[in-house]
Amino acid sequence: MTESRPRRPRRLRRVAVLVLEGAKPLDVGIPAQVFSTRASMPYEVRVCGAAPGLVTGGDGLSYGVAHGLEALEWAETVFLPGYRHPDREDPPAEVVAALRTAHARGARLAAISTGAFALAATGLLEGRRATTHWHYTRALAERHPGVRVDENVLFVDEGTVLTSAGAASGIDLCLHILRRDLGVAASHHTARRLVAAPYRSGGQAQYVPRAVPEPLGERFAATREWALRHLGEPLSLGVLARHAAVSARTFSRRFADDTGYTPMEWVTRVRIDAARALLERSDRGVEQIAVEVGLGTGANLRLHFQRVLGTSPSEYRRTFSRGEPGEHDGRDGHNGRSGHDGREGQNTRDGRNARDDPRD
């Protein structure tokens, strides 16, 4: 009788959520919930403050945090949620110093919304691109002129420092980090659990005021959904425009406004995303996958993988095909960054494919 080998316990990735005075409830809750310890998520989350105890938040809420700045010494990823009046003064000196020390040790720092002001106070954003809530982009640029503030994106990935716009884009940033850590299947699993769109482009504009309603929005969303179900078929600009019942010129212009990509860029990227999922969860060969997702040949698939992800399909499979979400080794399938504005993967925006799975 063969003795079964005990299952090696998985290593939990360490995430700290730093709550500052005036912290906004959604900004605190998003990373705490996305990375909460569960069967499908190999993370441990500690919510901390400048010191253990009660932290006065924004919007009438306060937070009882069990950990102080020692959590930043423990963490591999530190989230800085947004807080009220970030343009008035920097966080306490001991908080800024602890963030610098954590980063020097190798921790990844990720700011949500106005948390970018706390991150900028460390000096780690100097000479780098960053974003924040659109209402505060000018204030961030004025307070920290060395930061290249981009008000037209949802999030910016600069490797070990990341920033996002308002609270909803904090979800996009968290899902982006999950893709980096665990692969696209784990990210999509979490998006379904949150009933969130699996991918919104980091380069998508965060705020576009419009004087009149947009009558084509639902029609274009339906075309994107249809395209996702027909990736193995020819999907030219003309085919997509005919499905949406508009001219190719109108479709191309409006599609870019809606998603942050040209139609053909979007098609290529969702095909790459579909290939990633098949590489993670099946044993199909590269040639077969290329045909199934509409990229034609293995050579074409390799070309696009290298251009978009900075890696090969075989290396991506070795990195991420480690079983179900939560059992990956988490190495980046690309090079630790997926572009300065997170442009990677697919964007359905309306999220109609997302369904809540209460089981996990």
Q: Name the helix (H) or strand (E) containing 104.
A: helix 93-105
pLDDT tens-place values along the chain, 360 residues long: 444 444 445 689 999 999 999 999 999 999 999 998 677 789 999 999 999 999 998 888 899 999 999 999 999 999 999 999 999 999 999 999 999 999 999 999 999 999 999 999 999 999 999 999 989 999 999 999 999 998 878 899 999 999 999 888 899 999 999 988 988 888 888 888 877 766 555 444 444 333 333 445 567 888 988 999 999 999 999 999 999 999 999 999 888 877 777 899 989 988 998 898 899 888 999 999 999 999 999 999 999 988 888 889 998 888 776 544 433 333 333 333 333 344 333 333 333 333 233 333
pLDDT score recorded for residue 273: 87
DSSP letter (8 states) at residue 2: P
Long-range contacts formed by 213-219: CB under 8 A, 24+ apart: 216/244, 216/246, 216/254, 217/258, 218/350, 219/244, 219/245, 219/246
Q: What is the pLDDT of residue 8?
A: 47
The reported pLDDT for the residue numbered 333 is 34
Specify the pLDDT at position 284: 92
234-284, pLDDT tens digit by residue? Answer: 999 999 999 999 999 999 988 887 777 789 998 998 899 889 889 988 899
∠ Cα 20 23 29 (to 5°): 110
State whether residue 302 is helix, strand or coil: helix
pTM of the model: 0.66
pLDDT at 322: 53
What integer pLDDT is reported at residue 130 of this predicted model? Answer: 96
**pLDDT value at position 49?**
96
Residues 157 and 341 sit within 8 Å (Cβ to Cβ): yes
| Token pair 């965060």 in the structure block, residue | 206
* Residue positions counted in the chain: 360
Q: Can you name the residues that pair with 109 across neighbouring β-strands?
A: 78, 161
- C-alpha span between 142 and 162 (Å, rounded): 20
pLDDT at 39: 72
Compute the C-alpha angle 72/185/278, nearest 5°. 145
> pLDDT value at position 168?
84
Strand spans (E) along the chain: 13-18, 43-48, 53-56, 62-65, 77-80, 108-111, 129-130, 148-149, 155-157, 161-164
Q: What is the CA radius of gyration of the chain?
A: 21
pLDDT at 315: 87
pLDDT given for residue 10 in this prediction = 65
